[in-house]
Structure formats: C-alpha cells, structure tokens
Structure 1
Amino acid sequence: MEFDIVIVGAGPAGLAAACRIRQLSEETGKDVSVCVVEKGSEVGAHILSGAVLEPTALNELFPDWKEKGAPLNTPVTEDKIFLMTSAEKAIKVPNPLAPKTFNNHGNYIVSLGNVCRWLAEQAEGLGAEIYPMFAAAEILYNEDGSVRGVATGDMGVAEDGSHKDGYMPGMELHAKYTFFAEGCRGHLGKQLIEKFQLNAGKDPQHYGIGIKELWKIDPSKHQEGLVVHSTGWPLSETGSAGGSFLYHIEDNQVALGLITDLGYENPHLSPFEEFQRYKTHPQVKQYLEGGERISYGARAIAKGGIQSLPKMSFPGGLLIGCDAGTLNFAKIKGSHTAMKSGMIAAETAFNAVTAERKADELTEFTTAFEASWAYKELHVQRNFGPAQHKWGNLIGSAYVFVDLNIFNGALPWTLNDPKPDHSTLKLASECKKIDYPKPDGKITFDRLTSVSYSFTNHEENQVVHLQLKDSSLPLGENLSKWNEPAQRYCPAGVYEIIAEDDGQQRFQINSQNCVHCKTCDIKDPLQNITWVTPEGGGGPNYPNM
C-alpha cells in the first residue's frame, strides 16, 4: 500500500502528527494521505501514563477541544509534595520550596489512553487511516539507503517458524516519509538510531520504569483534582532514585504509581516490590483502604533530556515523541512535548510532500523543533535528571530548585550523565539482599495476579518476541554475577529460573505475560535481551490507563 506519510504508533506524537497533516490538507486543498499503524488491539490499549496533561500542544492543535469533547475532565485543584523519610513518616514540602516544574495549575489529570482514543477519532474524522492490530515489524529501505516504509508482521506463525491455520503474511506500507512514534525504546527506533548513528556525541539515553495501578476508593477519601508527588522511601533505603505519584481523577478513582530510576545499582532490587511497599506508607494507604484495584500496568519512560536526544531526522523519515526521548523529566510529563514534535514533523513533511520531494532527509525539522517552545522547555530543565543521578534526590532537588526557581535554567553549564543504565549494577555479592514482605492481597499483590489486571493476552504458540543473543548468558553470567536480575526488574514475571528434578537450572521466558514495558531490553547488564514486536493485537489491553 502506498501513502504519502506512514506513522508507526498511535500514541500522542503519532496521532497529533496525523491530525495536523490532515488539517493542513483541508486548509490548503492539497491532499496528503496518511496511515497510522498501531500494534495494540485498539488505539489506547498499550498507552500507560500517570497522567497529568499539560494542554499546551492540544490548545494549538484543537483550540476548540472542549467543544469537541476531549476527555480532559479533571482540572488539577491542588499540588502536594512529600519527602518520605521512613516507612511511617513523611515531611510535606512547602510548595514555594519545590521545583516550579511541580506546579500543575492549569493542567488536567487524564487517562492518556482515552485521550489517544479521542485523538484517533479526530484524525479519522479528518481523513487519516488508522489500523490497530498491525505491528510494524521491519523497516524497508530504498536502494539508496533511505527509509521506504515498514512491513507489518506476519500473523499465524508458530514458535517453530511453521505456518498455522489462518496464516496471513505481513503487508508492506510504502511512504514518501515515515514517522516512528513507537514510544519509549521503540524497537524500530532503536535500529534507526544505530544504523544512522543518530546518537553520536550524545549521552546514552536514561530510563525509569513506571509501575501504575488504578483504584476506585471510598468517596469520603476522594478529593477530585488533588495531585500528590513524593520521593524518598522506599527507594532511598537502597540508595536508589525515583519518585511516586497519586492523582485523584474523576469517578472516585485514584491513579498511583512509582517510577524507579533504571540506573539503580543493587541487583536484588525489584521495582515491582518497591511499588508494593510504597502503597503501605500511611500517606498512601489512607486512600486505598476499603478501595478496590481496577487495573495494573507498567511502562519504561525515557528521561535523558536533550543531552540524550538523538538526531531526529534521517533519509526518508523522522523519530518523534518518546521514540526519540522528548519527555520532560523535570515535569514528569511527555505528552505535550511529544505532541508538539509530531505537529512539527507533520508541517515539515507536508511541505516536502506538496513540493514533490521524496525520501530525502527533512533536515529542516531540526531547525523548526529547536525553535519551538518544546525544545526550549527541555533546554531550560536539562539538568534535572543528571542532578538527581549525580547527587541523589535530596541534594539533587535542592540544586534543581536553585537552577529552575532562581535562575530559570540559565546557569551557564550542562550536566552530563555518560554511564548507561545497563552498566550500573554492582555484583550481587557486594550488595545487601532485600527482604520483601509477602503481599496481603488487599493493598499489596503478587506479580501474576497483577498481570491479570493488565488484561494481557498473546496468541498461543507464536515466535517468542523476547530474543536472547546468547542463550547461555542468563545462567552462565547473569546468575553468578547479578543473581539474574531479570527475575526482579521485570514487572510481569516473564523471566524465571526453574529448578529441574535432576538439580539442573533452566532460564524460562514466559513471554505471554509481557506487558511491553521494555525494561528487559534496557536493564539487562549484558544487553543480551532484545524486545521485538509480537503478533499485532498482543500485549496489554489497558481500558483507561
């Protein structure tokens, strides 16, 4: 199939791009065709975020979004920030002493999945074609090396490579320009960065793993519009960095989660178990007691900032949104910057297509993006993440207060963070083991029960999408050095060490549990695990995360 523009991924960046292309087509009378392919079972099925949405980009894209019924129903009414000093105690940080990026006046608590569903409706109404359940599995190239488009994955291939009943080959989607908007650690984006050396001279990208639950709570405990952030315990006990959120959304629901910095050192640490511990703190537990968990999920976030932002253009296409790493970690927000990158990509490519250019490099995108408010925002707040890594949450936050609140990011230096997250683990023998309590089934839960609340499903007997470069390394290297950390950093119980009857051990991959968070692709210390897309439609089915 031939299109002017093909977009991989129906997240905020990809959908904003599709909407903007079709808006320009209507405004100018010059028809530019656009197709969006999405690996989830529906738009929004794989979308997971906190989320507090800053509406800057949405205001530009659809100034009448309220009249169009955008699902921004809960304006933020109050911000609270806590320093968790222990398992029982917390200190409320006065708002004037907090980094100004934590001021959410004018923002909205949303289900980002529902926002994407609404954006997809707008895009289709404008004439874009959107195909869920089609996973882009391969990048196609022209003879000159420029990107020609993508091929979707074959359906109905058994684990041994044979064709099952109902086999359907993938489809080639050709385009003048292809946008890759897969979200954090996109598997095609990763290939493009390597092929075109887009990250040359940059810091490595840095990541966190966000684990989230949605609860329905006692109406007497609910305060619609309240935003609570915290740092410190439980991660501080292991010298790890990160922070938490608890957002009071509509319908007596709260969204809560813990973001664990994937630069942690102790291989015994489990981000999932740390999240369970977080919920037992009185500041959090007070809201959950008597409530009911509705859903669960996890997703990595790219938080390296502009120091880690790769070149976003290459012959025949663009990396946009979190596929490049446009999230503003100082705000813990990425939807507005992702959308803006998609809108700029749309305007750049629209001009190129209507000028009858084809598959050249859209170098003017970089100039336009760096002139935008999105890039300027990332530049002002560029030192937030490196300061946290360098000095820890407490001293790092103090530095950020001075940098942002007093100097507005104008200090004449940029901090760097050159050590990749996968290389930070110390040997297991050098680190204290962590004794995590058993779940109580009311506030805290086990992994497999939690995965059932992500409504994850993969077609049985398909090619395993978690690929090992060397199958001997999990037991031969990772187990002896780091007690095979995949058993703990995975929030879905995908990786296990199984003891056989004869006393031998086996490394087992339960790929059907995978929630597509990409943590294994990021944190494996030998970079032995590669995440590739499974059959389209597989993975989590988040209802409103």
Structure 2
Amino acid sequence: MSERESMPYDVVIVGAGPAGLSAAIRIKQLSPDTSVCVLEKGSEVGAHILSGAVIDPKALDELLPDWRNMGCPLADTPVNDNQHWIMTKTGKFNMPHFLTPGFMHNKGTYTASLGNVCRWLAGQAENLGVEIFPGFSAAEILYNADGSVRGVATGDMGIARDGSHKDDYMRGMELHAKYTFFAEGVRGHLTKLLKPQFALDKNCEPQVYGIGLKELWDIPPEQHSAGRVIHSQGWPLADANGGAFLYHQANNQVALGFVVWLNYSNPYLSPFEELQRWKTHPEVKKILAGGRRVSYGARAISDGGWQSVPELTFPGGALIGCSAGFVNVPRIKGTHTAMKSGMLAAEAAVEALAAGREHDALTSYQTAYENSWIYKELRMVRNVLPLVEKYGNLLGSALAGVNMWLENFGIRMPFTMKHHPDHNALKKKNKAERIDYPKPDGVFSFDRLSSVFLSNTNHAEDQPIHLQVKDMDLQKNSEFMEFAGPSTRYCPAGVYEWIEEEGKDPRYQINSQNCVHCKTCDIKDPNQNINWVTPEGGGGPNYPNM
C-alpha cells in the first residue's frame, strides 16, 4: 500500500462544532502565526450539527464581544417568553417561574440553528487564517515513538464493501501536529480509543447519555411567536426519563423535539415513537396545525455532567466540548460550556507553543477548567439527573428542584451521586411490557423512513459498513432472543432490522446508508457489541438549518 502524504500544523482540531471552531478562533486571536487545521467529517460545516437550540451567549461574548453586530444568526431571535409544561395525556400545567432558580429562566439567551451558528463561526475562523477541511473524517490516531499523540490520519476514500479499491480510490492523509484537539462531539469514535489509552476516565463516573430527536416545522404566522421557548415533561413518558422542547425561531419556524435518557429499561420503548406521540397532544397540535414538517434529525447527548468529565489532557492533545461532556442537563444547554472549553484549551496550547513545548500534556488547560465557570456551573447541578433517575419524574424532579435552590444559595450538598452505564439498564423481554404505538397519521406523526428522507442522509452504498457488530452470534442469541431486538426501536433512522423468514434463522440486516450518526447503538446495545466507526468522509446527514 502506498505511503500517505502528510501535512504539518501547530494545532489540528478534529471536529468543526462550537468547541473546535472556538478553539481555532482563540488560537489565532492570541497567536496569528500559529498554524491551525480543522477537520470536519460532514460534507460542510454544520452538516452534522444538531441541537435544540437555546444558547447562552456567555462564551461567545468572551470570544467575539461584538458578535451581535457581525451578522451572527444567533442575534436574530432573543428568548422573550419561557414556559415549562407538566403534561398529562390531554392537558398541561404551567410551572410558575418562582419555583425554579433564576439560572433556569433563560434570561439573556437566544434561540437559533446551531448549525448556522457554526457556519458563521467557521467564516470568522477562516478570516483569521484557519484552514478548514470539510468532508474528511479523522479515522486514525497517530502516535510518536514515546506514545504521545502526533496527530490524525483521514480515512481512505473509494474502498468497496468487500475491501477492494474502486476506480476513485484515494489514500488518506496524515495531519501532524504539536497538539491535537478532539472535538468530535458525543461518543466520539477516536475519543473512545483515547480514554483507555491514557486512562482518562479512571477517576470519574461513567458517562451517561440521552437521545435527542428534532424536527423543524414551518407554521402559520398567527401561531408563531418568535422567541417563545417551551419545555415539557411528563406525558407520554411513563417508565423513562426525559422531556420535550418547542422553540419559536425566526421566519415562522419552530424547532421541536424529544429527549429520552438512555437509562430506560423497557426494550420495547422507541424514542422516535415517543416524539411522534408527543406531537399528537392537543396543546402541541394547536401550535403545529396547518404547518409543514421540513427537517428531521437525531443525536446522542452527554448527560453525565460534572462527575463524568474525564481527565482532559494527555501527551500531545486534549478533549474539548462534548468529547469531554460539558452539558448542563437541567438547563438543557451545552454550547456555551463547549465553546469555553475550546477557548481554555487554545490558551493552554498557545502558552505551550510560545515556550517551545510540544506533544506534552497541557496541564494548564485542566487547571483552567477546574477554576472556570464551566466547573462551577456543572458542579451546582451534579445531582439533578441522578435524583430524577433514582426517584422518578415527580418526586425526583421535586428533590432536584430543592437541590438546585440550595446550591443556588451556596449551600453545597456534601455528596455527589453516582451514575450507572446505560447499556446495563435494559430488562430482558420476559420481564418487560410491550408498548403499542399508534400508526402515524401523516399530519402530525410520521414513520421513520420518511423522516430520514428529510435529514438528507447519504452514504456511498458500496463502502464498508461503519456499524461493526463484533460477534453476530451474540447479537442473535442475546440482543434478539433475550432483549427482543431493541436496536430496531432505539435507532431513530431504521438502520437495524431483524429479518425473520420461515424455516430460517433470524438475520440481522444493517441499513447503514440510513445512519444519521446519532451513536445511540454504540451506547445502548446491551452487550456493547456494536462499534460505530467513521464512514467515508462527507457521508451522513446534511442538515441545512438544524
């Protein structure tokens, strides 16, 4: 096989999300001559970005103080109405603001497409001289002889499913760096390798996750109120935790979605179907009536918070953004913390490069994080998710509310609750109750395949399957026979099917071309038997406005 070409940089950043782009901008602000490269596996910046999103501009104010006058799309829709619904099957109760601490009120926040914000950030980065390469997946970590990270290599292009080289075959390229930042987002496939390699998570709780499913709707102007933000909890979830959101954004559009924590136990639960059922609630239908669904997508969310953040640095690099997991779960926000983490890592790298250092551990980044407002913000709410998980939506939410009020007044709880891995939570099918979901009506609720169509997902069909089942016998004997094939339900894109034909063994079919890169299968498979790896660069969803 031919040798790969290589390109040297001072800093290579894997992922053009808010953390990666903020890091790139900050490096160039502090040291214009430092060479910075950003790799993005999506076909363009923003193509794989999915978030609600209501964004706290705290980090953006620090990074680009004049952003409101620079054409940033975030400035278009400030939040002006914040509601929290407790839902029953046919009605709702509005939770009064005075019951929640001030940091939950969304004062001073904005709602917009995070994908479009990232496209704008990419423009700012390129204006400063950052090189951004969309459509190239970082597929391999490169190491120096002493074990430090040397950079990454992009995946080969033009490989057929059988491993042969097609006519358009092109060898991947090595990107060498003095420091490499991993900003892959939730459950990054390279971050998964780095954690055991450098024992980054030896002193933290397991990371836990949710899956967020999102749709965009164009609705009639008389039903739209730009800047209105609605969160809900309760119906339709019964034996699972999570909730929904509905954000009135610009141009008579609402972003709506549903989040299910992946610690649920019933293998018959389908997060996708829970979203569809939620939209049939009378109060939601009032908003959507006469509207048109225009986009769909899904993404896993890091929910572990403060106690699940791993060590952030290792020789030659650092974890930033959701690769480390900085989401504030009760606030349902992580963009501001992700951006700030990228800025802190950038400052540590610039300091190291100025001192002539390279390929060491950026320990000043770890120290800066522990002294930052990210750390303080996450520590305040560290027990919220475990309380709800342990005591349920009603009692758990009440206890979590008391906990947040006490922490808000500076009364710190003398304990930190633990997490348990999501894949251990499923009951076997003989101990679970089937869930019968209604058929989609084609007006408010829809099927998965028509939804995936709206995500503009595309993969070259003749390429290696990027959803790797390690042991197919284990998948049949356990995932299917014991757990009733939960992958056919937790996947929001119809990737997995168990084909049953008379007289034949069940056959596991993987429709990898449908994959929206949510990573739920990598997280929730009860045997950890599915490994998500990056497909050929540029594949996956192409979200225009998510």
Q: Compute the TM-score of the two structures, normalised by the length of structure 1.
A: 0.97
1: CA distance, partners of 2:93 / 2:343: 41
The answer to whether the 8 Å contact 2:499/2:509 transfers is: yes
Question: 1:89-108, aligned counterparts within 5 Å?
Answer: 89-108=91-110
> Secondary structure in 2 aligned to 1:37?
strand
The structural deviation recorded for 1:386 is 1.2
The answer to whether the 8 Å contact 1:386/1:415 transfers is: no
The answer to whether the 8 Å contact 1:203/1:416 transfers is: no
The structural deviation recorded for 1:501 is 5.5
Letter in 2 for 1:423: N
Question: 1:138-537, aligned counterparts within 5 Å?
Answer: 138-236=140-238, 239-408=239-408, 410-500=411-501, 502-537=503-538
Residue in 1 aligned with 2:137? 135
The structural deviation recorded for 1:99 is 4.6
| Deviation per residue, 1:297-356 (Å, 9 max, x gap) | 000000101111100101100000000101111211000000000000000001111211
| Aligned: 1:9 with 2:15 | yes
> Secondary structure in 2 aligned to 1:80?
strand
2: CA distance, partners of 1:199 / 1:257: 31
Question: Which residue of the other structure, out of 46, 63, 66, is the alignment partner of 1:64?
Answer: 66
Residue in 1 aligned with 2:79? 76
Letter in 2 for 1:370: E
The structural deviation recorded for 1:418 is 3.2
> Secondary structure in 1 aligned to 2:446?
coil
The answer to whether the 8 Å contact 1:100/1:404 transfers is: no
Letter in 1 for 2:497: E
| Deviation per residue, 1:263-292 (Å, 9 max, x gap) | 000000000001100111112111111100
The structural deviation recorded for 1:529 is 0.3
The answer to whether the 8 Å contact 2:217/2:293 transfers is: yes
The structural deviation recorded for 1:504 is 3.0
| Deviation per residue, 1:92-146 (Å, 9 max, x gap) | 1111113544311100001000000000000000010000001000000001110
| Deviation per residue, 1:200-222 (Å, 9 max, x gap) | 12111010000000000011111
> Secondary structure in 2 aligned to 1:187?
coil
2: CA distance, partners of 1:169 / 1:158: 13
1: CA distance, partners of 2:510 / 2:372: 44
Unmatched 5+ stretches in structure 2: 1-6
Letter in 2 for 1:490: C
> Secondary structure in 2 aligned to 1:345?
helix
> Secondary structure in 2 aligned to 1:81?
strand
Q: How many residue pairs get matched?
A: 538
| Deviation per residue, 1:188-240 (Å, 9 max, x gap) | 0111011111111211101000000000001111111100001011112xx10
2: CA distance, partners of 1:328 / 1:295: 26
The structural deviation recorded for 1:185 is 0.4
The answer to whether the 8 Å contact 1:9/1:183 transfers is: yes
| Deviation per residue, 1:440-481 (Å, 9 max, x gap) | 111000000000000000012001000011111221111111
> Secondary structure in 2 aligned to 1:481?
coil
Letter in 1 for 2:214: K
2: CA distance, partners of 1:155 / 1:503: 36
1: CA distance, partners of 2:281 / 2:415: 36
2: CA distance, partners of 1:316 / 1:260: 36
1: CA distance, partners of 2:201 / 2:37: 28
2: CA distance, partners of 1:459 / 1:80: 43
The answer to whether the 8 Å contact 1:99/1:397 transfers is: no
Letter in 2 for 1:433: R
- Higher mean alpha-carbon deviation, 200-209 vs 526-535, is at 200-209
Percent identity of equivalent pairs = 62
